[in-house]
Structure 1
Amino acid sequence: MNAGIGHNRGPSMKSVGWRVHCWRRARAELLPVLPVEVVRTRVRRAKSLGLDYKTYAGVRATTGRDLIAFLFSSNALGVFRDDHPLAEGRGDKLIALAADRHLGVGPGLDAEALGQRIAAESARSLPPFGSHWGEMRAEAKAWLRAQGLPGDAVLMIGETDHERELMAAGGLAGFITGTRYFTGERHAV
């Protein structure tokens, strides 16, 4: 084989097997090997937050910190009118949550009343649909500052793409649908 300038005469990168080997090795070296007791502690923490371990570990690995608060949308709670109760099973899971609860409500809902029903630390109206990214970002950052929360330690539980955009604009730790959080159901994308 005639190797050009700069070739180190190593294995051919055209081989799929070699690329797979390199990828697996690099991936394995990237992931830390945690002591068993640390994993057990994190499994317990995930359970106290109402999350499966894989989701919790993924958020923690992405942000580098533990979750300390959740921002629930009224849509995730299944409340669309002020006189509606929480959707089935939501109240029990909220009571067991070992993190601060915060609430964002959709148009026409009384944020304070629903916030009291779920014992939220704060309750506010979410930016209306159609808000510009910069407006959503400014509102989310102002809310985080007012609550003394780092955005990457707050997980948003919502249902809509608009709520997912708000999560991204505010720099929150992640987004999980209310259906998945409260019932464990996962929908194919």
Structure 2
Amino acid sequence: MNEPRSTDSRATIGHNQGPTMDGGRQFRLYSWSRAQASHREAQLPLAIHRMRIARARELGLAYSDYARIRASSGRDVSGFLISSNALGVFSNAAPPQPRITERLQALRHVLRIGLAHPPLDPRLLLERVAGLDLAFAAPPLLGTFAEIRAALSRAQGQLPAASLVAVTALGLEQEWLAAGGLGATLPAEALFG
């Protein structure tokens, strides 16, 4: 004989308020996880929201981009790895557009690392682009993950990879995210307009 289910909704000790294991479990699990995620964000104190908005301004990012990066990487942004393509520098003699250097110089409390694609020389890129802190050779566009990871590791230095954001202009540069374990990638337009 089937016993009637209890309609008592109070949780017992040790219950985590998660979804039940009855039929329709997948939908309840999905709904519950979405509700928990939105609930956590909603419970952030107003002071933290204000600090994050101010941090997004320091980084020159839209708040939505900054929030997405923080949510996916779990870290604050400590550096931008900016490809020479994203900077609009394609030869050793060409300077970047003034709006790009102005934007780089306006960034605060973040490391700005240029990645020079061949035939560009990283030293010349650092000299020509005001606002860059460091410059390294960019990973090969058609390189293996190991080659890309090695090049990104040199540029990364002692910074955690998850705190770095690649600023790219080519589709092949999107592979840097997975190969280097970076926090995120952004198109050049997100940073330079």
Equivalent AA in structure 2 for residue 109 of structure 1: L
Cα deviation code 1:133-176 (max 9, x no counterpart): 122112322432xx221111111111112221123211111100
The alpha carbon displacement at 1:93 in A equals 0.6
Q: Tell me by how many angstroms 1:80 deviates.
A: 0.9
Alignment correspondent of 1:121: 133
Q: Give the drift of 1:28.
A: 2.8
C-alpha distance in structure 1 between counterparts of 2:183 and 2:30, whole Å: 31
Q: What residue number does 2:167 align with?
A: 157
Using the alignment, how far apart are the partners of 2:50 and 2:36 within structure 1?
26
C-alpha distance 39-30 of structure 1, shift in aligned 2 (>3 A): closer
Residue 106 of structure 2 is matched in structure 1 by 96
In structure 1, C-alpha distance between the alignment counterparts of 2:21 and 2:130, rounded to whole Å: 65
The 2-side partners of 1:101 and 1:9 are apart by 49
2: CA distance, partners of 1:19 / 1:71: 38
1:37-186 map, 5 Å: 37-87=47-97, 89-98=99-108, 99-116=110-127, 117-144=129-156, 147-183=157-193
* Cα shift at 1:68: 1.2
Name which of structure 1's ranges 46-55 and 19-28 shifts more when overlaid on structure 2: 19-28
Residues 58-94 of structure 1, C-alpha deviations (whole Å, 9 max, x = no match): 1112222211111111100111112222135211110
Equivalent residue letter for 2:119: G
After TM superposition, the runs of 4+ consecutive aligned structure 1 residues lying more than 6 A away are none
User: Structure 1 179/111 Cα, relative in aligned 2: closer, same or farther at 3 Å?
Assistant: same
Q: Aligned-residue CA RMSD in angstroms?
A: 2.6
TM-score with structure 1 setting the length: 0.79
| Count of residues paired in the alignment | 173
Q: Which residue of structure 1 lines up, in the alignment, with residue 6 of structure 2? A: none
Structure 2: state its 5+ residue gaps: 3-19
